Amino acid sequence: MKILHLSDTHNMHYLLQNLPDADIIVHSGDISFAGTESEVLDFIEWFEKLPYKYKIFVAGNHDHCLFGETITGLLDNCFYLCNSGIVVEGIKFYGVPLFMNDILSDKYDKQISKIPTDTDVLITHQPPYSVLDFSENIHYGDPLLLQQVLTIQPQYHLFGHIHKARGIEKIENTIFVNASLLDNNYELTNNPILLEM
């Protein structure tokens, strides 16, 4: 099964042309820039029209209009994961959003601690600490998230958030993928990353 992973499009999704074939497309957050409802609805309209069998997305820190909200009315093959999971053709996906309110209230650590141990593909917006998270001499990743991923060892951990740290890295049994499409100047410079299960 092929997974096309992208992140951090910040309203520039319409500029993406000739996307490669895959069975599943996964967007790991920052679909919007200002976090408005109209931006998110515009992304969903575009995302649902893409010719992929399954479509999955999580919210990033820019997508704050989704904080505490439930999205209804999505097509049957499109899934918004918010501290929730979905099984697609036997593969267990689980998604954790990044909302600043959760970090400030310490709910984020509780959400991370509840990631199921049988997760095959973990989707977060924030990277784990010290893995594809370095920019301007700072590691922006989360230490507890790293600990959880090393314990659970999903096949893939998909994320973004740190535009400058885009890349792929393998640690033990997990392949970590930061698929940020925009650079630090918020210019579309990268392509989505195609993965194989």
> pLDDT digits over 39-76, tens only?
999 999 999 999 999 999 999 999 999 999 889 999 99
pLDDT band at residue 191 under the 50/70/90 scheme:
very high
114 CB burial (10 A radius; 0-12, 13-18, 19+): exposed
pLDDT at 22 over 90: yes
The amino acid sitting at 64 is H
Other CB atoms within 10 Å distance of the CB of residue 45: 10
- Give CB contacts under 8 A, 24+ apart, made by 148-151: 148/112, 148/113, 148/115, 149/122, 149/174, 149/176, 150/174, 151/117
Percentages of the chain per state (helix, strand, coil), in multiples of 5:
20, 30, 50
pLDDT of residue 48: 97
Extract the runs of DSSP E, i.e. beta strands, from 60-173: 78-80, 84-88, 91-96, 121-124, 134-135, 138-139, 156-159, 167-171
pLDDT of residue 106: 86
pLDDT band at residue 188 under the 50/70/90 scheme:
very high
pLDDT of residue 137: 92
Residue matched to tokens 């970590």: 176
Question: Kind and range of the H or E element at 147?
Answer: helix 143-152
Give the mean pLDDT of 79-104: 96
pLDDT of residue 134: 95
pLDDT at 103 over 90: no
pLDDT at 11 over 90: yes
Other CB atoms within 10 Å distance of the CB of residue 52: 20
Give all domains of the chain, ordered by start, each with its CATH number: 2-196 (3.60.21.10)
Average pLDDT, the chain: 96
